[in-house]
Amino acid sequence: MSEAVCPAGYHGYEPFDMNNPFPAYQEMRKEQPVMFDDRINHFVVTRYDDVKATFDNWETFSSENAQAPVRPLGEPARKVMTDGGFTAYSGLSARIPPEHTRIRAIASKAFTPRRYRVMEPLIRDNVNILINKMLEKGDAGGDLLADVAYELPAITILTLLGVPVSKIPEVKDWATSRAVITWAELTDEEQIPHAHNMVKYWNYCQELVAIAKSTPSDNLVTDLVDLQSAGDEISDHEIASILYSLLFAGHETTTTLISNSIRVLLEHRVAYEALVEDASKIPAAIDEVLRYSPSIVAWRRKAVKDGHIGEMPIPAGSNVLLVMGSANRDESVFDQPDAFDIGRENARNHLAFGYGIHYCLGNLLAKLQARVAIEEITKNVPTLRLKREVAITFGENLSFRVPASVPVEWN
């Protein structure tokens, strides 16, 4: 294992620094495509073929650690969660076959494109309400993330689940707690308020199942309860766990996708103008954003038996970090990978949604919302531009690369 360690400083790789990880990724792809990083106790994998093959080899590289806190929870946070009856772990992403196969099949029956495609007009109305509210700020300009991208996906997923939109601030707060308690480095003290939020979050997921049982209505929770009544093998706890997944995965990453889309397009003005001229180019542009600046840059796996990644032997029990943000810029797959090109023919081969049995269940909903948001923004605010004087920074995290804000102006 020692050969894998880089004594020269990990090629500039700082696992939690999301500001500009791409030069380090490039160096790692070239010099040490599978590198053991003792600071995070993970093998870090940066080449496209290796990342894809490892995602695909779920029998050796299980996803069971995908939701484990990067820094194990301290005693105080654990006590808060135990006392509060927190028993959730993962809806799907950290479950393994055969349990994963069974639950994913049932979740897929409820979470169908038909269920969410009908929402397109509502999504369009909501985008326009949010854009108009932002435009009222006039010369002061706005923040595309806070003003438009933040609420839109939350309204969509809450509506699908039959949750009142008045719950948005709470749900967003819980999701933030889940993201930092799992993927950031917090002290024991800092974990405590987030642990309280996790308890509230999980209790609410269970409450939603109880509500759907007592008062069925036209929403995804009732669909899951109906499948259970019709004989599908799924427990109340597992249904609540799916909701625990969707109430998190269903908005944070899409908020980031919409924010990154507008940020990157405005950084490449010609591309933004091309979409103002011709909206049919938007779906391809979204794939290029997902390749060039994915919402999730790295995702975890655990070796459950001895295996290999490329030439590197990976002993059973090892943690593995698959860096999709690097795979998406692998020069052996994408020509001039650091160029943002909305006409790129193979942009769709990005790994932003993972690969294999855990491939993102919500990818079409995420793309639908991004498409509608970009269509309305380019149509209604063709003069939109970034406020050049404000530097965009990204929050510290191992997996989620989220801009703190996207300051824009239009006059």
**Does residue 126 belong to the site contacting ligand HEM (CB under 6 A)?**
no
Among 253, 259, 319, 378, binds ligand HEM (CB under 6 A): 253
Residue 96 or 192: which CB sits closer to ligand HEM?
96
Structure tokens at 282: 């938007």
Query: What is the number of the residue whose Cβ is closest to ligand HEM?
Result: 362
On whether the CB atoms of residues 46 and 25 are closer than 8 A, the answer is yes
Residue 32 or 54: which CB sits closer to ligand HEM?
54
**DSSP H or E stretch at residue 35:** strand 34-37
On whether the CB atoms of residues 351 and 328 are closer than 8 A, the answer is yes
Say which residue the tokens 């001039």 belong to. Answer: 336
DSSP one-letter code for 146? I
Task: Give, as ranges, the residues between 341 and 360 that touch ligand HEM (CB under 6 A).
Answer: 352-356, 358-360
**Does residue 157 belong to the site contacting ligand HEM (CB under 6 A)?**
yes
Give least dist CB 246 to ligand HEM, A: 5
On whether the CB atoms of residues 308 and 250 are closer than 8 A, the answer is no
Task: Give, as ranges, the residues between 25 and 64 that touch ligand HEM (CB under 6 A).
Answer: 55, 63
Q: Please state, in angstroms and rounded to a whole number, the distance separating the CA atoms of residues 71 and 150.
A: 27
Q: Please state, in angstroms and rounded to a whole number, the distance separating the CA atoms of residues 394 and 371.
A: 23
Applying CB under 6 A, which part among 38-46, 227-235, 251-259, 268-276 lies near ligand HEM? 251-259
Residue 195 or 352: which CB sits closer to ligand HEM?
352
Residue 250 or 337: which CB sits closer to ligand HEM?
250
**Does residue 254 belong to the site contacting ligand HEM (CB under 6 A)?**
yes
Residue 11 or 329: which CB sits closer to ligand HEM?
329
- Report the amino acid identity of residue 389: E
Structure tokens at 313: 């032997």
User: How is 64-111 classified by DSSP, letter by letter?
Assistant: TTTTS-SSPPPHHHHHHHHHTT-----SSTT--TTHHHHHHHHHHHHS
Applying CB under 6 A, which part among 33-41, 186-194, 253-261, 312-320 lies near ligand HEM? 253-261
- Report the amino acid identity of residue 192: I
Longest dimension (CA), the chain: 61
Residues 79-118, one symbol each (x = binds ligand HEM by CB under 6 A, - = not), give: ------------xxx----------x--------------
Count other Cβ atoms within 10 Å, centred on residue 363.
Answer: 14
Three-class secondary structure of residue 407 per DSSP: strand
Residue 89 or 359: which CB sits closer to ligand HEM?
359
Strands (E), 140-203: 142-143
Residues 208-237, one symbol each (x = binds ligand HEM by CB under 6 A, - = not), give: ------------------------------
Task: Please choose, from the candidates 265, 177, 163, the residue with its C-alpha nearest in 3D space to the C-alpha of residue 205.
Answer: 163
Structure tokens at 314: 């990976």
Give least dist CB 290 to ligand HEM, A: 7
Task: Give, as ranges, the residues between 359 and 378 that touch ligand HEM (CB under 6 A).
Answer: 359-362, 365-366
**Does residue 250 belong to the site contacting ligand HEM (CB under 6 A)?**
yes
Residue 80 or 314: which CB sits closer to ligand HEM?
314
CA dist 366 → 207, 403, 405 (Å): 26, 18, 20
Applying CB under 6 A, which part among 168-176, 215-223, 244-252, 381-389 lies near ligand HEM? 244-252
Residues that bind ligand HEM (CB under 6 A): 55, 63, 91-93, 104, 157, 245-246, 249-250, 253-254, 257, 294-296, 299, 352-356, 358-362, 365-366
